[in-house]
Amino acid sequence: MRWLRDRSKLQLAAAAAAALAVLVLLPLFIGVYQTQLLTYGLIAAIAALGFNLLLGYTGLLSFGHSAFFGIGAYSVAFLARDAGIRSMELFILVGLPISALLSALFGYICVRHTRIFFGILTLALSQVLYSLAYKLFWVTGGSDGLRVPRPTLLAGLVSFSGSGSYQRFVDAYYYYVLAMFAVCVVVMWVIVHSPFGKSLQAIRDNEVRAAFLGLRISRFRWVAFLISGTFTSLAGILWVPLNGLTTPEVLYWPFSGEIVFTALLGGFRNFSGPIIGGIVFTYLKTYAVATTEYWQLLLGVVLVLLILVLPTGIVGAVSKLVDKLKAKGKP
Amino acid sequence: MTVLLQTVDLRKQFGETKACDGVNFVVQKGEFLSLVGSNGAGKTSLVNLISAHLQPDSGQILFGGKDITFMTVSERIKVGIARSFQIVNLFDGLSVFDNVSLSVFSRDGKAAKITSLAEHDDDVRRETLEVLGQFGLREKTAVLAGGLAQGERKLLDVAVAYALRPKLLFLDEPTSGVSTHEKAQIMDTVSSVVRAGTVTAVVIEHDMDVVFRYSDRIVMMHEGAFLADGTPEQIKANKDVANILLGASLSD
């Protein structure tokens, strides 16, 4: 395989394999709470990975990605309550097409505009969903939300009941989410390195020139939006069984802000930026909430510092540092 | 010679300004034509109209005998019209290789492929490297377009348009903003590639030394209309052209 003869690609594959090995082994050394936190981190990483296809690769800043996370979460809640479904695979198989359909619809409306107009449209549409979830309480449970029972995994082969079931669920579910995360990373990697992904980057860099290559800009943006929304919905689908409850808060605009924050924190110009951002943000927020009642202030200060000191995010800053060290090491 | 492009009484007005005032422009297949004129003469507007960057107020555009007046940008690219821009227009966040390969992907209808890596398409890779070699950019394949020197950016800008393998290529000031030495290098490369590829080229250019040296035919525009049309020798001998080039008005 030509791919394996390429040294940089080989290094990348080795780094990815090492990271995966660490993630596989980590639950053996950490407690159930930390495992649960790491699961939330991986889910946030999937959401940010989807979000960043729009921001980092297409140049469109969505302020409404909470909508897709919420669509995923509420799809699972409705399937569990109204169809009596308990299988995680069915949640995914039914939830994803619903999410894709709604992402396609939202995208069709939003991609006709760019810059601030795009951002405001996405924000407005997510707020419409938030209002519906909040007001239609006889359908959505209103502010109380909807409870989601613990699902079965692997077509019902793994179920959780009896004593110690919570710990068993957290452990098993971690590996389930890790597998989904690994698939998402590979799929997104292929997308952004495909001709389609390169076309998106061209549109991001220079829309006029891209049009003069014959690329149909709106169509590319629409497909990117659809994929982005579906990825973030998958994160919502995976999140709700672990949380056990979904409320309108996951559709509210501050949650969209958190997804933006996540991408900025990790670095939206790097493929791995949103992944790191998702995991770091989960820990940051959890510990900030646990440490002080002014946790929002703390996160706000982090955001300001991030933009002023590390505009390229954690991954961008580390890459720059590595490049500098490499340059110094050269004769 | 065969007529490749023809405009019939093409008009475009911006407020009181007539950018194209009933232009009847003919481009013969295989020629290297220069479009000259002072700033505001209507050269770029004419190219914008032909490439669908602007819509005409009235008139007709025929390409290979077919009416393309109401075709979209992508449809005109499909029939064989490509262009570069006055200000270098590249994808700065992509590598030199990706800039050119995207043209090849787009031309071959593969730009929307999503399930395989771009670098694994051997045909596209081969053709991209060939084009980059022709434009002297083979050593720069991995460099980001944003990191190139101005002369290289100009060449890449033309290479991106050329890789679409158009029948008619419009180059809007391919040597603006570069040194005199680089101008010759760029024009040598561009003219040899274009002629070898049997592409018909229309170049907008201000440097008359460049124009006289490389053109088969020169068309001069003034205030949205054609003032002169001929071989370099005929244009050199034209007094109206000399007046305009020296900055004097026709009424002087």
Residue environment code for A214-244, b if the CB has 16+ CB neighbours within 10 A, otherwise e: bbbbeebbbbbbbbbbbbbbbbbbbbbbbbe
Give the pLDDT score at B252: 40
What's the rounded mean pLDDT across residues A223-239? 95
| Substitution target from B88, B102, B104, B164 for chain A, most A beta carbons within 10 A | B102
Among A2, A198, A211, the residue with its CB nearest the CB of B102 is: A198
At B134 the pLDDT is 85
CB atoms B160 and A213 under 8 Å: yes
Pick the more confident residue, B40 or A124: A124
For strand B81-83 and strand B66-67, is the pairing parallel, antiparallel, or unpaired?
unpaired
Which ipTM was obtained for this model?
0.84
| Minimal Cβ distance to B111: which of A193, A196, A205 | A196
* Mean pLDDT, rounded, for A80-108: 92
Could you read off the pLDDT of A39-61 as tens digits, one per residue?
A: 999 999 999 999 999 999 999 99
List the single residue in A with minimal CA-CA distance to B170.
A212
Look up the pTM and report it: 0.87
Residue range B4-16, pLDDT digits in tens:
888 888 888 888 8
* Packing angle, helices B96-107 and B122-134, rounded to 10: 120
- Across the interface, whether the CB atoms of B116 and A215 are under 8 A apart is answered no
Tallying the residues shown for chain A, one arrives at: 331
State which residue of chain B sits closest to A217, comparing Cα positions: B74
> Cβ distance B5 to B27 under 8 Å?
yes
Q: Residue B102: pLDDT band by 50, 70, 90 thresholds?
A: very high
- Nearest beta carbon to residue A206 from set B90, B103, B164: B90
Q: pLDDT for A143-163, tens place per residue? A: 888 898 889 888 777 777 777
Q: Do A202 and B94 touch (CB under 8 A)?
A: yes
Q: Quote the CA–CA distance of B2 and A325 in Å, as a whole number.
A: 61
Nearest C-alpha in A relative to B146: A205
* pLDDT of B178 above 60: yes
Cβ neighbourhood burial of B142 (10 Å; 0-12, 13-18, 19+): exposed
Q: Tell me the average pLDDT across A228-240.
A: 95
A209 near B CB under 8 A: yes
Mean pLDDT of all residues in A239-261: 90
Which residues in chain A have their CB less than 8 angstroms from residue B119's CB? Answer: 193
For residue range B125-134, what is the model confidence (pLDDT) as tens digits?
999 999 998 8
Determine the residue of chain B that is closest to A56 in CA distance: B93
Q: List, for residues A192-218, the tens digit of each pLDDT value.
A: 999 999 999 999 999 989 999 999 999
pLDDT in tens, B165-174: 888 989 888 8
| Residues paired with residue B12 on neighbouring β-strands, in sequence order | B20
**Do residue B105 and residue A198 have CB atoms under 8 angstroms apart?**
yes
The verdict on a CB contact (< 8 Å) between A209 and B78 is no
Instruction: State chain B's mean pLDDT as an integer.
Output: 84
Subunit contact B116:A201, Cβ cutoff 8 A: no
Secondary structure of residue A73 in the 3-state scheme = helix
Mutate to test the interface with A, among B119, B126, B148 (most CBs of A within 10 A): B119
- The answer to whether residue A218 neighbours chain B at the CB level (below 8 Å) is no
Q: How confident is the model at residue A35 (pLDDT cuts 50, 70, 90)?
A: very high
State the CB neighbour count (10 A cutoff) for residue B219: 23
Query: Other C-beta atoms within 10 Å of B147: how many?
Result: 12
Return the residue of B nearest to A196 by Cα.
Answer: B112
**Selection from A191, A315, A201 nearest residue A262 by Cα:** A315
* A232, A47 Cβ separation under 8 angstroms: yes
Helix (H, G, I), strand (E, B) or coil at A146: strand
Task: Give the closest residue to B89 by CA, choosing from B76, B102, B71, B108.
Answer: B102
The fraction of chain A above a pLDDT of 70, given in percent, is 98
Instruction: Compute the nearest-CA separation of A122 from chain B (Å).
Output: 24
Which run of H or of E encompasses A314? helix A313-329
pLDDT, tens digit, for every residue of B60-97? Answer: 888 888 888 888 888 899 999 998 887 888 899 899 99
The domains of chain B, with CATH numbers, are 3-90+166-245 (3.40.50.300)
The count of CB pairs under 8 A between chains A and B is: 105
Rounded to an integer, the average pLDDT of A266-274 is: 89
Q: For position B205, what pLDDT does the model report?
A: 83
B110-164 tens-digit pLDDT: 998 998 888 888 999 999 999 998 888 888 888 998 888 888 888 899 889 889 9
Best interface-test mutation with B: which of A12, A55, A209, A228 has the largest number of B CBs within 10 A?
A209
Residue type, B219: V
CB-based contact (8 Å) between A201 and chain B?
Answer: yes
Q: Show residues of chain A in contact with B112, CB under 8 Å.
A: 195-196, 199, 219-220, 223
User: Measuring CA to CA, how many Å separate A163 from each of A27, A173, A240, B59?
Assistant: 20, 17, 22, 82
Per the CB < 8 Å rule, is B114 touching A208? Answer: no
State the smallest CA–CA distance between residue B238 and chain A in angstroms: 36
Q: How far is B170 from chain A (nearest CA, A)?
A: 12
